[in-house]
Amino acid sequence: MADIKQEAVDDQQNYSVGNNSDPKNMQELTQYVQTLLQGMQDKFQTMSDQIITRNILLEITIYIFNAQ
This prediction has a pTM of 0.57
Res 26: pLDDT: 95
Q: What is the pLDDT of residues 8-43, one digit of tens each?
A: 666 555 555 455 678 889 999 999 999 999 999 999
Per-residue b/e over 31-62, b at no fewer than 16 CB within 10 Å? Answer: ebeeeeeeeeeeeeeeeeeeeeeeeeeeeeee
Res 17: pLDDT: 47
Res 22: pLDDT: 82
